[in-house]
Amino acid sequence: MQAMRTSLDVGVVERGRGALLQLRHRAMNYELNFEYLVARLTPQLDEDSIARIRRAYEVAQLAHSGQTRDEGSPYIVHPVRVALSLVDELTLFSPTLICSALLHDVIEDSNITRDDIARMFGEEIAEIVWLLTKLEEVNLRDYLARIEAAAHTGAPIVKLCDRLDNLRSVVDTPRLEKKRRYIRTTEELYLPLASRTNQYLHNELSRCLEQARNQVFTLTSHG
Is 25 a domain residue?
yes
Number of domains the chain is built from: 1
- Give the span between the Cα atoms of 18 and 177, in whole angstroms: 25
Q: How many of the other CB atoms lie within 10 Å of CB of 135? A: 10
Give the sign of the dihedral formed by CA 155, CA 90, CA 17, CA 192. Answer: positive
Look up the pTM and report it: 0.85
Quick check: is 109 catalytic? Answer: yes
For residue 184, what are the domain limits? 9-221
Percentages helix, strand, coil for the chain (3-state, rounded to 5) are 80, 0, 20
Number of H helices, E strands in the chain: 13, 0
pLDDT tens digits, one per residue of 88-145: 999 999 999 999 999 999 999 999 999 999 999 999 999 999 999 999 999 999 999 9
Asked if the structure places residue 4 within a domain, the reply is: no
pLDDT by residue (tens digit) across 143-202? 999 999 999 999 999 999 999 999 998 887 888 888 899 999 999 999 999 999 999 999
Catalytic (active site) residue 108:
yes
Check 88, 108, 124, 187 and give the catalytic one.
108
CATH number of the CATH domain containing 215:
1.10.3210.10
3-state SS class at 122 = coil
